Amino acid sequence: MASPLQDRAFHVQTFGCQMNKHDTERIVGMLESLGAHEVSTVEGSEIIIFMTCCVREAADVRLHGQVASLKNIPLPPDSPLPKRLVAIGGCIGQRDGEKLHEALPHVDVVFGTHNLGSLPALLSAAIEERAFQVEVLDSSTGFPTDLPTAREHAFAAWLPIAIGCDNFCTYCIVPHVRGREKSRPLEAIVEEAEGYVAAGVKEITLLGQNVNSYGRDLYGEPRFADVLDAIDATGIERLRFATSHPKDLSDAVIDRIARLRSVQPSLHLPVQSGSDAILRAMNRRYDSTRYKALVASLREACPDIALSTDVIVGFPGETEEDFRATYDLIDEVGYNQVFTFIYSKREGTPAATWDDPTPREVIQRRFDSLVDLVQKRAFEMNQAWKGREVSVLVEGTSKRDETVIAGRSPHNLTVHAPLPSNRTATDLVGRLVTVRVDEARTWYLQGDVVSIL
């Protein structure tokens, strides 16, 4: 008997972190295995799935707006369905469950972060029974890697090594919607990596809410350095990882970043604040002195490492002095990229109950001044690449010009170059090329291809 999903057209919209992007690849793999096919637009879809993030309030607002707008978009004329099915998963699905149907009555399916594999059955039931379906589990019994996948790029792969988080930062909802930290056995991670290498994948990105604490639940102590050793030994060309919590960044991991052939010289190391008082209030469990010592160790071991970070402005109780400490730390460290956010209250977190009398215009002023600094320092950092040759893994073409290829350097910098006259973009996607940089801008480097590997 054919699945109710046979021949149905689906579209997935993904918000938030890399783990959500990986979950989306699993959803595509599951639905395609049942005969459904992915389409690139909402208008062409019969089923639309939102993979959501609830880390910031803007994500909730965006989701509600986009779901509400679907009522005005007709189904494809040849669809046998009475209406477009709308499914909401990810962190908002996990957090709100059935309440989403109360707020958005035309939603047909809600599923959580712990039951990704239930989505095909929930969609099938919604089609056959024409009734709302919801399943949100409190914990998971397996990993998303047990499910079929359809990778976005043949040359790159996400590889989760752990799910969940045990840190409970006072502003963060993730432990409440992703659950406690659960590590995969090292053997399973290596087996998956070996499969990717055999399939021709050039770059693997290891995923975890805190990769540095990998294995503590399985082995009694973190073993992330062992993961890096084992994946490097598979022969993968490029190895990256995210996210790296400063409190658990060990000397052994710093050594692997500097020494292992495949580990790329870039690191995302979220600082969140430069104020020790705010870091304590956030429950980050390091101070600014410790953080700057880690940066010094990283640069001693790997002098040209590219660093990126996250910063929250306007955390409850932040004073002008606290903000100045953050501003000065960002200026002192010198990041290639900084993701700046104004604090967003998340119901269910301790910080959401704290009052803050700071006027919004003061917080906005601080934020704007920090963004100005970030752009200035990123531009300065990138000037060091002018005149140098960099290896680039080509990911596609520039969004603005299809005659310009775009990819990333080992330092995770975006690089643009005109398409060589005797090549097409299709020829080069997934290939490594060497680009001589002749221009360095704030957010990308630009140059010419001098060789193709």
Residue 142 is assigned to a structural domain of this protein: no
pLDDT level of residue 443 (50, 70, 90 thresholds): very high
Count: domains in the chain: 4
pLDDT at 422: 85
Residue 286 is assigned to a structural domain of this protein: no
Residue 68 is assigned to a structural domain of this protein: yes
pLDDT at 229: 98
- Taking 3-state DSSP, the helix, strand and coil percentages for the chain, each rounded to the nearest 5, stand at 40, 20, 40
Q: Which amino acid appears at position 119 of this protein? A: L
* φ, ψ (nearest 5 deg) of residue 395: -105, -20
Residue 274 is assigned to a structural domain of this protein: no
Q: Cα–Cα distance between 150 and 30 in angstroms, integer? A: 8
What mean pLDDT value characterizes the chain?
93
In a shared domain, residues 70 and 82: yes
Question: What burial class does residue 265 get, using C-beta atoms within 10 Å of its C-beta: 0-12 exposed, 13-18 middle, 19+ buried?
Answer: middle
Tens-digit pLDDT profile for residues 134-166: 988 877 666 666 677 778 889 999 999 998 899
* Owning domain of residue 355: 297-383
pLDDT at 112: 87
pLDDT at 348: 87
Tens-digit pLDDT profile for residues 377-404: 999 999 999 999 999 999 999 988 999 9
Q: What average pLDDT does the segment 112-137 reach?
A: 90
pLDDT at 264: 98
Q: Which CATH number does the domain housing residue 34 bear? A: 3.40.50.12160
| Whole-prediction pTM | 0.87
Pairing label, strands 414-418, 445-452: parallel
Closest residue by Cα to residue 431 from 384, 390, 388, 396 = 396
In a shared domain, residues 18 and 120: yes
In a shared domain, residues 324 and 228: no
Between 151 and 243, name the one with better pLDDT. Answer: 243
Q: Which CATH number does the domain housing residue 390 bear? A: 2.40.50.140
For the cut 80, the answer to whether the pLDDT of residue 369 exceeds it is yes
